[in-house]
Every structure is written in structure tokens, then in C-alpha cells.
Structure 1
Amino acid sequence: MWHYYPEHYMFSYQLVRILAQSHFGGGEFNECLEAASRIKPGDFESFHQSWNLEGDMVLAEAEQARAEGRLLSARATYLRAANYFRMAEFFQVPTDPRKNETYGKGVKAFREAAALMDHPPRRVSIPFEGQEMTGYFFEVPGQQHGPLVIMFGGLDSTAEELFFGPYEMLNERGISLLILDGPGQGESLRLRNMLTRYDYNVPATAAFDWAIENLDVDPKRIGIMAVSMGGYMAARSAAFEHRFRACGIWSAVYNYYDVWAKRPDNHPLSSVLCHIVGVENMAEAREKLTQFTMKDVVDKIQCPTYISHGGDDRQVPVAQAQAMFDELTCEKYLNITPADSTGSAHCHVDNMTKVLPLFDWMQQQLTK
């Protein structure tokens, strides 16, 4: 993976991540490099300030384009602004009062863009344990009773971010997409304090039930997919919800406790982890994570399952993918991008084309 900041991996990774999303409208390369050039490596406040500034500047361009009736340009510009605000919010600690404000700016910009799309997504709200899970339904235009993928992100990720890549890669393969902020993610966490949970099959089943009751989709052609920490969520969901036709794991997580066991207490995402599991310190967080394991669970997965993982993943070691694969007893596929190749970083962000075989496979599973 390319390191813009040789002395700071996490900052470099986030830059590579948004550059990858730029292929799908989530940024413009030179705007991203402009923002990156203002950041002092390791300085989280400068990271926020620079990306927030970039977001504000691009948002102003979007507003001007819309006012002048240049709606195609406005749509594209709102999308970039939305993702820049997501970056600005990323490392902000949950106690920072600006975090939800920045998050809200990004969501608003995304929804302004969505309203200008040729086929705007449907905003959805799924009742769940007295609250709601919200997200977006991107339907393949003109399709009736077609296949669907239900998708979650990872850690505290946002539904809006999953537009940049999965939407295009699935819709153009004839598969509609339901993107959700599950427990511990996006609106569910930031606005409703809905904490993450080890039994992610419960919200996944709620999403499945809601989809077949409210969307024009084929209940026998619904897949589950998730990315990063979502690799655990997707696997857990498929293990206990056997109506899923296929399971796509975009970076496997076999044991999330092991992922965090050797990370320092002051890891850049420690405060976020504590927040999503609802504890005060890392000792308590690690104790919570002992439940987040696929040991003695993997073999319950019955549907065909595909794992895609980077061989040089510094966030979730490739051994986690191998452990998951080895214990699968269903029809299974493993795609490891070699460590000496682009695309070998976490979630293939350093070359998103390396995840295309997973989407091709999902097409084969759900559209045949």
C-alpha cells in the first residue's frame, strides 16, 4: 500500500481508502491530495480541520451548481462533499460535540445528491427492538421480483459510505442493494445510541423479514454481505439465518477479540470501539469482544460463502480469513490477494478491482 505519510499508517490508509472511493464519485484525486497536504501526520485535529475545509469548499460548489440549474454537476459535487465530511468525522472522538455535527453535514450532502439521481434510492426505516435501523434501497431500474443483497459496513461505518462502490458493482450486475446502518453504525449509533452486538444475526433477520414484506424482491435470492468488521457480521448472520442464498465476506473477522488483543489502549480507534460496545475503557471493551467470535459458529453456515481478504492486511491479519475458511463446511471460496500485490491491504482499498471476483460470484449465486 502507498504511504503518503510514511510515519503514520492509519492516516495513509484513510487517504488510500478515499482515493479508491473516488473511482465511484466519492472524491476527486487532487482535492484529496490537497486535503492531505494540509494535515500534520498524527495530528487528529488537523485531519478533521483539513477534510472539513475541503468538504465546505466543495459543498459551496455544489450549492452554486444547483442554484444555476447545473444539476448533474451538483449531484457529483454533493457526493464528493459528503465523503469529505465523512473523512472529517472519522477520527473524532464520540465526546467531541462536533462529531455528530460533521456527520450530519455529510448525510445531508449525500441526500441532496441522492435526490438528483436518475433513480433516487428509497430511504428506509426498519423497526427494530423499539427503535429503527435506517438506510437506503437501491433498486435495479425496471426490475421486478429480482435479487437483493443486504449490506452492513463495519465498526461505526455509515450507510452513505457504502454507496461508493457496492451500489454500482451490484446494480450493474442486476442485483438491488439494501444498505443499512445496523447497531453500532451510522445513524443507529450517532443519533439513537444503538450499540453493536455479537449476535448480528438478529438485526440481519429483521432486515430480511422487512425486505420480503416491503420490497419487490425474490425472497429466495437474497444475499448478505458486509465489509471490514462486517466480515464477522455477515458470517454470523448467515450462520443463524439460513434463508440467505449467499454470504459475501469482504475481509474476514474470525475473532474480533484477537484483532484488538495486541492493539494499544491509545489506538486511534479505541474511543470508537468503547463507544460502540458501550463501555468506559479498553479493558472492558476487550472483555465485551470475547463474544465476537465465529469459533463453534462457522460450521452453522449453510449457504455458499465467499471470503475476499488482503494478504498484507495490517488491521485484520490474513490468518483470520484462513481460520474462517478452514472451519466452513458449506460450499466455500477463498480469494487472498498476495502481499506483494496492490489490493493486499485491508478490504483491498489499495486496489478495489481485487474485490470484483466477490461481486462476480455474488452475481452468479443470485441471478442464475
Structure 2
Amino acid sequence: MHWLGGSLLMGALMAGAMTACGSDDPAKPPPVSGDDAGDGGGAKKPWWNLGFQDDLYNEVTLFYLGHAWGQQSDVGEVLETARRVDESDPKSWTREWRKTADRLMSVGQESESRKHPLSASQAYHRAATYYRAAMHHSVEPLSAQGAAEYRDLTRKEVDAFAKFLTLSRSPCEVVKIPYESTTLPGYFCKSPGAASRAPVLLYMQGRDAWAEDGYTMAEEAMKRGFHVLMFDGPGQGQVIRLQGLPFRPDWEKVVTPVVDYVIARPEVDPDYVGLYSLSMGGYLGPRAATKEHRIRALVPNPGVIDWYRNMAAALDPQLLALVDSDEAAFNAKMDELMKASSFLRWGIEDFMWRHGVDTPAKLIKDLRRYIMTPAEVANITANTLVVDAEEESRGQAKELFDALTSKKEYLKFTAAETAQFHDQPGAEAIQTQRILEWLEGSLAKAP
């Protein structure tokens, strides 16, 4: 349901293009069912509708409400900030979330000055979350001003999160992972209850979320005796904003240095490495595992075998055909649509920025590289849990599951669990429980 990782964002921004091109089947919000359908007295709003006309805003807000379970946000702060957002103003989202983040930084600074480090750490933690939220819409990364704002917000987020780790005495530490000619940012979380050499879970998000969004999962994994390494790769989090490194399809070139780094740590048992990857990571994680066979347990949420299909399915076929027959005409048509919709313009430019291209046609051609063949999937040796959801809009979990030849299981989250949407926003408790129970059986060392 939520757009982190590009799923609902893809559907929302491309729905505008489909409608403008004459399609009679634009992307639709999840259907209302059961009690939410109401009766003769008038339909009720679905429980996840938080008052926005655009379901995208509802879904992103739900994602941050879900963070409250792990104290990464607070319910009132999220709802009050969302209430201030003006849907008619493309810059309103960033402005209002930044205001809330700045206010929480002041709260943290005041608590810290009064020698209340735990209170300060909690305020800094929520501030970091809201700085990340501010970057999910309307900042324009392709402009010099937008890029500067991204860097400023990112540095504030990194600083707030680091203050949280220090003042809370978190078992997680900031690390730098050697990667080609540079490093990747990450957080190594050492389980206080783990044996000297324990299993490690690599946590990786997708297109829009950050490593820091995995802190709740890391805490729950540490309670179960796992060490955790949360990290950002190219195109993600700090890496795209401060280092300018775009996505790459050969994700094994990212994960292999991460595995090299983590198994060299004395706390880690090199034979017990797991990888949990979300949203676009539902493609990137399995892609890495086709070549990186030191991964013992793999959890893609949702399973994806062909990331490009998401874009192709969302675009009008006649418009898409222009990419090969008349690239200039395709770009001109997309430019026309982007001028008519500030939201569409932001979405396309955001995709181009993350993929390191400068035209919509080049974006389409780059996305075509994010496909695994069944033969490549068959190279995965990890024990794999393929995650699905009842109203998953962009995943291909069953297709990936069927193509796997390694030991595998299939998990579908349901509406009864309030976890039926993409990546289970607002349902972190049940999501975390189910994923970690499987990992305890598949990654934990035998007693």
C-alpha cells in the first residue's frame, strides 16, 4: 500500500500519464470491503483513510504512524503534521514535516541541556524520522536548490539519528562499509544477548525508505539473539543524497562488499547470514542472492522478479512504444504531462535522479535492466521466505516463489491482520513477528 520503494508512487504518478493518454483503466486505490463499505446510510471511509483526497498521502502517513510501535514516531505528531499539509501546494509536505522535525530537535536540545539524556534521545529519534518524511515529496533533486535542500535535510537526519544512538546508549553503532572507491553508510547492531559469534541479519530497504527505518526490526531481532546490519546502497538514503550514487541492477556488487564487511567482524558467525529486503528490495535482494551464495536465509518483501514490469504496466502502451520508435516524441509527451501535473513532474524527476539519467526515455531503458530470468532465480541457494500481501499492488511473489529451486516458503499477510498492503504499513508488530519467527527457524544456529 505505501509508496516506499516506488510501488504506490509508481502507480500514482503513472495513473496521471495513463489518464492523459486515454487509458480507461488507471491505477485505482485499494477497494473498500467489509465494514468499510458502509450500508444504505452512506459509505464509511476505510480505516486507513486519514483525510487526504490523494490516497498516496494517506498511505505515506500510515507508514509513519506505524513507526510509533517502535517509538520512532508518535501518533499525535504524525496526525497533526499531516493535518497541516496542503495538498494543493507541492512544497507543503516537505515544509510541514521539516517544521515538526525542527521542533523535536529543539525539544531534544532542551532535554539534553537539562541533563536528561534519555528524553533527549527519544526526541532526536522522532526528529530523524520526520526529517526522512520531509524528503518523500516535493523536494526537487534535479535542481540546484532542491539538491541543496536534500543535503541539508539529510545532514540534519544523520545528526539527529546519531544523537539518538549515543544518548540512548543503543547497541547500534555507525559504520562505514568499504565499497568500490568509497564507503556505504550503515549501522551495526550488536545483540546484547547473543553468543560471541552469532547470526547476522542484513536489513535493506528499497527505493524511498532508509536504513534507519529498520531500527524497530533491528531491536526485535537483537532480542532474539541476532546481530543486525542496516545499510543504504546506491540510489538509497544517504548514498544518493550525499554521495550521488544512483541505483544499479547488478545488486550483488553492492551486497557482496556488505557480506565481506560483516563476516569479518568477530561477533558474527560467517555461516549464518540473512538478508531482509523490502519494496524495490524485493527485487534487489533476490538479484544479489543469485550470485552471493553466502546468504543463508533470504526474505524479499514483496517478492519481485521483474521490476520494470511495474513501470510498463502503469504506462499507456501507445506512449510506452514511443521509447523505441521515437524517443524524442516520448520525452516531449512526458514533458507535456509533467507540466500539467506538479506531482507527476516530481515523481518522474525523482525516479530519473535515483537512476542517474536525464530524460524519461532513458529512465525507461534503465528500468528494463531490472529483470531476473527464471534461470537466474534458480541460482539462488538461500532458504527463502517470499512475502506477499492480499492487496499487494506491485509485487510478483507467486512468480518468484514458483521460479525458486532452493528451499522456500510463502507468506501472505492479510486484511484480518490489518497487514494487507505493500510492506505492511501501520502493521509493524505483526510484520516483525512473522518475519522473525521464520528467521528464528531458518537462520538461528542449532543449540
Partner of 1:189: 240
Following superposition, the deviation at residue 119 of structure 1 comes to: 3.4
Partner of 2:43: none
1:4-15 to 2 correspondences below 5 Å: 4-15=50-61
SS in 2 for 1:221: strand
Deviation digits for residues 236-278 of structure 1, max 9, x if unmatched?
A: 1222111111001122222111112244662753222211211
Q: Is the 8 A contact 1:155 1:273 kept in 2?
A: no
The answer to whether residue 361 in structure 2 is matched with residue 310 in structure 1 is no
Following superposition, the deviation at residue 281 of structure 1 comes to: 2.3
Following superposition, the deviation at residue 340 of structure 1 comes to: 6.6
Q: 322-331 vs 265-274, which deviates more?
A: 265-274
Partner of 1:22: 68
Deviation digits for residues 314-350 of structure 1, max 9, x if unmatched?
A: 3x14xx1111111111111111123575111110113
Q: 256-265 vs 71-80, which deviates more?
A: 256-265
Query: TM-score, normalised to structure 2's length?
Result: 0.78
Q: What is the CA–CA distance in structure 2 between the aligned matches of 1:225 and 1:85, rounded to whole Å?
A: 24
The one-letter amino acid paired with 1:14 is V
The one-letter amino acid paired with 2:209 is S
SS in 1 for 2:135: helix
Partner of 1:363: 440
1:125-204 to 2 correspondences below 5 Å: 125-141=176-192, 143=194, 144-163=196-215, 165-204=216-255
Q: 1:64 aligns with which of 93, 110, 113?
A: 110
Seq. identity, %: 27
Q: Is the 8 A contact 2:193 2:223 kept in 1?
A: no
Q: Is the 8 A contact 2:67 2:426 kept in 1?
A: no
Following superposition, the deviation at residue 117 of structure 1 comes to: 2.3
Q: 1:239 aligns with which of 274, 290, 295?
A: 290
Q: What is the CA–CA distance in structure 1 between the aligned matches of 2:79 and 2:52, rounded to whole Å?
A: 15
Deviation digits for residues 116-165 of structure 1, max 9, x if unmatched?
A: 123342211122111111111001015311110112111143222221x2
Q: 2:378 aligns with which of 287, 299, 302?
A: 299
The one-letter amino acid paired with 1:298 is V
Q: Is the 8 A contact 1:146 1:216 kept in 2?
A: yes
Q: What is the CA–CA distance in structure 1 between the aligned matches of 2:369 and 2:360, rounded to whole Å?
A: 15
Query: TM-score, normalised to structure 1's length?
Result: 0.94
1:1-368 to 2 correspondences below 5 Å: 2-41=48-87, 43-91=89-137, 92-94=139-141, 95=143, 96=146, 97-141=148-192, 143=194, 144-163=196-215, 165-263=216-314, 266=344, 269-296=347-374, 297-314=376-393, 316-317=394-395, 320-338=396-414, 342-355=418-431, 356-367=433-444, 368=446
Q: Is the 8 A contact 1:252 1:324 kept in 2?
A: yes
Q: 17-26 vs 345-354, which deviates more?
A: 345-354
Following superposition, the deviation at residue 108 of structure 1 comes to: 0.8
Q: What is the CA–CA distance in structure 1 between the aligned matches of 2:110 and 2:103, rounded to whole Å?
A: 11
Following superposition, the deviation at residue 180 of structure 1 comes to: 0.8
Q: What is the CA–CA distance in structure 2 between the aligned matches of 1:45 and 1:284, rounded to whole Å?
A: 27
The one-letter amino acid paired with 1:93 is E
Q: What is the CA–CA distance in structure 1 between the aligned matches of 2:65 and 2:255, rounded to whole Å?
A: 30
Q: Is the 8 A contact 1:211 1:217 kept in 2?
A: yes
Deviation digits for residues 182-230 of structure 1, max 9, x if unmatched?
A: 1111222111111111110111111111111234200001111111111
Q: Is the 8 A contact 1:156 1:276 kept in 2?
A: no
Q: What is the CA–CA distance in structure 1 between the aligned matches of 2:349 and 2:133, rounded to whole Å?
A: 17
When the two chains are superposed, the root-mean-square deviation of aligned CA atoms in Å is 1.7
Q: What is the CA–CA distance in structure 1 between the aligned matches of 2:220 and 2:88, rounded to whole Å?
A: 34
Equivalent pairs counted in the alignment come to 364
Gaps of 5+ in 2: 1-46, 316-333, 335-343
Distance 1:205 1:158, change over 3 A: same
Distance 1:167 1:42, change over 3 A: farther
Q: Is the 8 A contact 1:149 1:176 kept in 2?
A: yes
Distance 1:42 1:227, change over 3 A: farther
Distance 1:239 1:126, change over 3 A: same
Following superposition, the deviation at residue 293 of structure 1 comes to: 1.3
SS in 1 for 2:443: helix
SS in 2 for 1:90: coil
